[in-house]
Amino acid sequence: MKTKLLLPLFVILFIVPQFIRSQSKGQPREFYQLTVYHYNTIDQEKIIDNYLQGALIPALHEMKIKSVGVFKAIANDTSANKTLYLFVPLKSLNAVDEINTRLMRNNKFNANNKEYADVLHNNPAYNRMETILLKAFPLAPAMKLPNLKSAKKQRVYELRSYESASEKIFRNKVHMFNEGGEMEIFTRLNFNPVFYSEVVAGGKMPNLMYMTTFENKEDRDAHWDAFRVDPAWKRMSSLPEYQNNVSHSDITFLRPADYSDF
């Protein structure tokens, strides 16, 4: 009886991860452009929303970029410094310049974004805008849409950034996620990950970023409670080779905009 019960566990912990790794090998790795808008007022937010919903996202859809994400920090409700995140998946880094060039030549796009483009210097649409470029992990080469049933206004998307003290130590943390099996734990526990990536251009390098998604705050907390006591995580996190590979972490709770593709 014990042998019969152990076989399925062996399949889950060994054979399935090996299959996932074999399927990921050789698959082109996506790039992601994450734009963060910093603003203070509801009027600014409306201008950004109108621009994204009415001009930029339709133009990106015409370029066959279908899964564009727009997320607002849940902390915006009480914070004076508000943030909105725009997530655009790319096939290559060259796509960044190609998209900008095509947008400048797109008459429909330019006609639809005048409110955003023609703001006055003393009444801007945002305070600052930052752009982060990311490259998908080798064993998670393409983004995945979350499989959630709740309404967008109830969901919690969790964006994490892990910084490391040096490039070498950073590579160790990337290895922990990939070959080490940390991503496999998230998959097995159904964290609904959208992407895992290393930052190739940003203000907090060296660092990695990833996003997991949940039905609501209670669902998020339950998943992390399960993760903390998971035997595979306990074993992995205690290994000597994976100690002290994160020097700082940032956690941002987000909610998708009504017009976000996911």
Res 21: pLDDT: 53
Res 19: pLDDT: 45
* Domain residue extents for the chain: 29-138+153-256
DSSP 132-186: EEEEE-TTS-S-------S-GGG-EEEEEEEE-SSHHHHHHHHHHHTTT-HHHHH
Q: Rounded to an integer, what distance in angstroms lies between the CA atom of residue 183 and that of residue 196?
A: 8
Q: Rounded to an integer, what distance in angstroms lies between the CA atom of residue 187 and that of residue 196?
A: 12
Cis preceding linkage at 206, omega within 30? yes
Architecture of domain 29-138+153-256: 2-Layer Sandwich (3.30)
CA atoms within 13 A on the CB side of 63: 24
Note the pTM of the prediction, 2 decimals.
Answer: 0.90
Res 26: pLDDT: 76
Chain centroid to Cα 93, Å, comes to 17
pLDDT along the chain (262 residues), means of 10: 44 47 73 99 99 99 98 96 99 98 98 98 98 99 98 98 99 99 99 99 99 99 99 99 99 99 98
Res 74: pLDDT: 98
